Every structure is written in C-alpha cells, then in structure tokens.
C-alpha cells in the first residue's frame, strides 16, 4: 500500500520531531532545539506548510515545548529548594560557630587576666621562691 504525498510529509514531520528530541538531527545544526521552524527545516518543508496543512504537528511541537518548560521549571524549583536547605544549614552552622567564638574570646580574656596576675606575682620582690623537697632527702 503506497502512501500519499500528504501521508509521507506527515511521517517525515513526525520523524523530524523524533530526531530533534533525541538529538539525532540530520541537517546542518545538530544541537538545534525543538521548534516548528526546526521541524520544518529537518523535514524539508516550510513552516507555513506545518501551520496550514498539519496543525496537529504544530500542536504536538507546542505540547512538547510546554512539557520541556514544565520539566525545566520543576528541576529549577527542586534545585532552589536544595540550595535553600543548604543555606539554612550553613546559617545554623555559622550561628553556632559565632557563639563558640564568643565563648572562646571570653575564656581567652579570662586566661590573659590570670596570666597577667601570675606574672605580677612572679616579678614581685616580696615573693620567695621555695623549691619543693624531693622525696628521700
């Protein structure tokens, strides 16, 4: 059973859509994105032919484009949620580290004051140094 010219064109358009969506384009621009113009070029027809004689092909391309847009939107939304989660974790860690740093600064100031006091005692003329007795002597 032979196909009519219209059926052949329809099949060529459907194959063009499949080749473009799978990245197996035969024409010059292998990285071309799906569009009515890309399908027309791949199938060797004009965009007017698709719009006027094959509106179901134009609708199919539009549906695929909308599906791609929704998928990209969902992927971006998921990535944004992950980044927000990472940001929250980092902010919590930053808050904890700042608190620990404040405690260490306070402890360091206390130790510096104690060290200054001990240095003053060692340098004082009123203190006699006593050596501890060694056992057995």
**Which tens digits make up the pLDDT trace of 111-134?**
999 999 988 888 887 777 677 777
DSSP assignment letter at 98? H
What is the per-residue pLDDT across 50-78, written as a single tens digit (0 to 9) for each? 999 999 999 999 888 888 778 888 899 99
pLDDT of residue 71: 83
Kindly give the interhelix angle for 5-22 and 55-123, rounded to the nearest 10 degrees: 10
Q: Which of 11, 14, 40 is nearest to 27 (CA)?
A: 40
pLDDT given at position 22: 84
pLDDT at 26 over 80: no
The structure's pTM equals 0.48
DSSP states of 35-90 as a string?
-HHHHHHHHTS-HHHHHHH-HHHHHHHHHHHHHHHHHHHHHHHHHHHHHHHHHHHH
Q: What is the pLDDT of residue 80?
A: 95
Is 1's pLDDT higher than 70? Answer: no
């Amino acid at each position: 059973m032979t196909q009519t010219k219209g059926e052949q064109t329809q099949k060529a358009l459907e194959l063009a859509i499949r080749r473009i969506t799978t990245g197996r384009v035969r024409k010059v621009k292998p990285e071309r994105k799906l569009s009515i113009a890309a399908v027309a070029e791949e199938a060797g027809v004009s965009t007017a032919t698709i719009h006027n004689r094959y509106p179901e092909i134009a609708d199919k391309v539009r549906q695929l484009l909308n599906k791609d847009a929704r998928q990209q939107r969902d992927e971006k939304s998921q990535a944004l949620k992950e980044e927000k989660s990472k940001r929250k974790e980092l902010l919590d860690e930053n808050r904890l580290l700042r608190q620990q740093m404040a405690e260490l600064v306070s402890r360091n100031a206390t130790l510096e004051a104690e060290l200054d006091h001990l240095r003053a005692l060692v340098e004082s003329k009123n203190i006699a140094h006593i050596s501890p007795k060694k056992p057995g002597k």
